[in-house]
């Protein structure tokens, strides 16, 4: 298990205040660094569509990853422009943190219901989990760096955090997209096989 990051009430919390703007590395992503409990079965558990829920959560992960990648790429482009204030970076890093928070919550639920998911969904969950946790680490490191070096965002260290976030979010996006395409094609092939009455579906 990767190290715990972005936890609520984290002792590493360090805040940056500028015109009511807060960027706190310890405030968020409570889910990515710990095991998620599936909870006790209920009467509705036997009829709940876990396959549909997993698909919905994975699609949400893909959307969050696309958002995070877009912001990281934007910050990489403007980091060397002196007219762009550090406050803008703080605002956009907050947006990245919120996106990663959402990804952490979705990943927590996906890991809790993994055993009830389809095989392709299980593989997708396993493939994206490390990248989501690395995103949490890099987002936290970027916020800490911004807190301490507001005037030195052109230094390669900051760019590396942004590059890592872009790469990791791109990985999550691509993995989910590829598995969703696989599931769609598999369903289409199954429908075609049934239409020509192939034994066993294929």
Q: What are the tokens at 115? A: 């055993």
pLDDT digits (tens, 9 = 90+) for 145-190: 998 888 888 889 999 999 999 999 999 999 999 999 999 888 777 6
Q: Which CATH class is domain 52-201?
A: mainly alpha
* 90-146 pLDDT per residue, tens: 999 999 999 999 999 999 999 999 999 999 999 999 999 999 999 999 999 999 999
Identify the burial level of 111 via C-beta atoms within 10 angstroms of its C-beta, where 0-12 means exposed, 13-18 middle and 19 or more buried.
Answer: buried
How many CB atoms lie under 10 A from the CB of residue 196?
A: 6
Radius of gyration (C-alpha) of the chain in whole angstroms: 20
pLDDT score of 46: 62
Six-digit token pair at 165? 């976030």
What pTM was estimated for this model as a whole?
Answer: 0.75
The vertex-90 CA angle with 75 and 31, nearest 5°, equals 95
Burial status of residue 153 (CB atoms within 10 A of its CB: 0-12, 13-18, 19 or more): buried
**Rounded distance, CA 188 to CA 185, Å?**
5
Q: Whole-angstrom Cα distance, residue 153 to residue 50?
A: 44
Query: Given pLDDT bands bounded at 50, 70 and 90, which one contains residue 48?
Result: confident
Higher pLDDT, 19 or 170: 170
């Amino acid at each position: 298990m990767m190290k715990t990051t972005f936890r609520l009430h984290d002792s590493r919390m360090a805040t940056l205040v500028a015109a009511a703007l807060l960027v706190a590395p310890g405030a968020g992503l409570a889910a990515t660094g710990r095991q998620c409990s599936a909870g006790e079965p209920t009467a509705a558990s036997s009829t709940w569509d876990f396959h549909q829920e997993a698909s919905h959560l994975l699609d949400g992960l893909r959307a969050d990853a696309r958002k995070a990648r877009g912001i990281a790429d934007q910050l990489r482009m403007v980091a060397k422009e002196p007219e762009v204030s550090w406050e803008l970076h703080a605002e956009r890093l907050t947006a990245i943190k919120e996106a990663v928070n959402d990804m952490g919550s979705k990943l927590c639920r996906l890991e809790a219901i993994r055993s009830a998911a389809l095989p392709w969904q299980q593989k997708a969950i396993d493939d994206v989990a490390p990248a989501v946790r690395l995103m949490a680490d890099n987002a936290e490191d970027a916020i800490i760096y911004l807190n301490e070096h507001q005037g030195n965002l052109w230094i390669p260290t900051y760019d590396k955090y942004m590059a890592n976030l872009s790469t990791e979010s791109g990985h999550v996006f691509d993995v989910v997209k590829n598995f969703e395409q696989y599931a769609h094609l598999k369903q289409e092939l199954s429908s075609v096989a049934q239409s020509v009455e192939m034994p066993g579906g294929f």
